[in-house]
Structure 1
Amino acid sequence: MPGRTRPIEKCRITCMTPADIAFAVSLTDREGWGFFGSDFETRLRLYPSGSFVARHGRESVGMISSVTYGTYAYLGNLIVREGHRGHGIGAELMLHAVNYLLGKGVTTIELDGVWGAVTMYRKLGFRDKHLSLRFSRPADKRAVEPMNSAIPATPIIALDRKLVGVARQRLLRAALTDRRNSLVVQGSPVSAYALIRERAGGFSMVAPIIAPSWRQVPPLVDSVIKHYGDRPLWVGVPEPNYRMSQFLLSCGFVSREPSLRMYYGTRLNYEKHVYGIFGPAIG
């Protein structure tokens, strides 16, 4: 297990509770990450001991979240409040979360590292995997065709497990049954899907995008734009799926600053059928 650091600013780290949700949303709002309070409510319901808050006296000063998919886990939302950065609090939160996950039998931990934190992650034992690319598309002023999708969650979850190989059914089911979100599929029975997830701040994430082969991806993305292009769209793409990056650029998306997908423990290579990630904080 990673060793402990000695933060200059002595903090105690506790599990996040519902009373911390407003604080968590305030941090993600400052970063422009588009979280709703219900996102954290879902995390606490599905993974009640997996998110943590750093406290300095009576003040909450930082947080980190995790989701667990069997022996694979994903870390996200590592944020320390301005004015408390540079004192080792972020590293202490990371160590606390990593040791918690290892104690649960997790063998692979991943994250999307922003460049300012990559050195810290490497010192903690994380290794570089590939770039996690970002693309956004402005809202299209032309009218879009409304779409009603009544696909049950069960076949989507089964397809995701088959193609990705990661047991993320609990969080995926929560996203599929959230009335703010929408679904675009290919095939009957369903053989590929894209989930459009409404985010705070007026944009939508097309996340995830899962397909067994590249030929199903362009019509899937075209359908997303046709039905949901009247809002700003965001897509995260694993670097190995370079054709997806080129296709998005041809569809009016623009490239944004990428992050770095990193891993701790056993490396898993599941990206072959992942043309859009679930999210920077959930894998």
Structure 2
Amino acid sequence: MGEADLEGVRELRSVVRWAADPGAFELLRGTRDARWAVAELPGGSVAGMVGAVPLGGVGILCHLAVREEHRGSGLGSALSRWAVACLRGRGVRVVRLYSTRQAEGIYGALGFRPVCRRTVYRREGEGLPAVREPRGYRIGALLMGDLPELYGLDYWSYGGDRSHIIFAILRRHPGLGLVARDRAGRMKGYLIRSLSGDAVRIGPFMAEDFRVARALLRRALADGGGKRIEAAVPEGPESPAHALFRSFGFAGRSERLRMELGDEPGEGGGLEQYATTAYLAT
């Protein structure tokens, strides 16, 4: 994918509705080491596209899109194989994606295994439960000086290096990050928001325990200005994130399937994930 392809890519994304979030594509396109491919018809128009975003040991296959009239031709599989090969060539151990129901068969045939469905939670309106900051913790604005510690803690918790994505979100949406620290000043949770039209998206959102997560979420909602709030939770039913969002009046809907290919990234522990980013498998 070159600069000359971008007009055709954006036109493709406008007709493939499930891939039509321009903010996600533009943010990931600028991520360091990200690579993109297009499938062109003889006349030069774009029939399909895919992205490959390496995050250390984790690689993201994203934004696979094929025009409806070219589906079933093997084009989706060819683009996916290109992305996997690209990520493998950069030392990625596990390739991760979120699949629509229509594409699950393509990825399964390439060896991807299903992991869990992603639940998207949404909340409208005002009114918040009374939640105090947990004793011994302080919640405040995320500052640039917090980022080195946040990057290290996120890597330990997530298993991949999302620092460039996190920085890009904060640069596009300054002042929307929150951090929780204990009395000793150690980071025990963080929540990052981004704006999308009339909605506020939450993620990444991690915390040491339910109390810290609850206090971070309430602060985020109190600052929301009555906008619709959305959060994507990629974990299974055992995740405390489901109970957290429901306790604040969020309604959830299960949607895309998380699938992975290769070895699991090393588990370091760290914080519990309460919401991922709005940028698909990241």
Question: TM-score, with normalisation over the residues of structure 2?
Answer: 0.81
Aligned match of 1:194 in 178, 191, 195? Answer: 191
Q: 2:214 aligned with 1:218, yes or no? A: yes
Alignment of 1:204-283 (within 5 A): 204-228=200-224, 230-240=226-236, 241-268=238-265, 273-283=272-282
Partners of 1:204 and 1:34 in 2: CA distance? 17
Q: Residue 163 of structure 1 contacts residue 212 of structure 1 at CA under 8 Å; is this kept in 2?
A: no
Deviation at 1:159, TM superposition (A): 2.5
**Distance 1:134-1:40 versus aligned 2 partners, 3 A rule:** closer
Partners of 1:26 and 1:135 in 2: CA distance? 29
**Distance 1:47-1:204 versus aligned 2 partners, 3 A rule:** same
Q: Residue 159 of structure 1 contacts residue 191 of structure 1 at CA under 8 Å; is this kept in 2?
A: no
Deviation at 1:81, TM superposition (A): 2.0
**Distance 1:42-1:237 versus aligned 2 partners, 3 A rule:** closer
Q: Residue 34 of structure 2 contacts residue 53 of structure 2 at CA under 8 Å; is this kept in 1?
A: no
Deviation at 1:197, TM superposition (A): 1.2
Q: CA RMSD in A?
A: 2.8
1:123 corresponds in structure 2 to 109
**Distance 1:282-1:29 versus aligned 2 partners, 3 A rule:** farther
1:168 corresponds in structure 2 to 162
* Structure 1: unaligned runs, 5 residues or longer: 1-15
Q: 2:151 aligned with 1:154, yes or no? A: no
Q: 2:88 aligned with 1:102, yes or no? A: yes
Deviation at 1:122, TM superposition (A): 0.7
Q: Residue 204 of structure 1 contacts residue 233 of structure 1 at CA under 8 Å; is this kept in 2?
A: yes
Deviations 1:45-74 (A, max 9, x none): 434551111111211011111211112101
* Structure 2: unaligned runs, 5 residues or longer: 129-139
Structure 1 residue runs of 4+, over 6 Å off? none
AA of the residue aligned to 2:253: R
* Count of residue pairs the alignment pairs up: 262
Partners of 1:194 and 1:49 in 2: CA distance? 25
2:136 corresponds in structure 1 to none
Q: 2:47 aligned with 1:50, yes or no? A: no
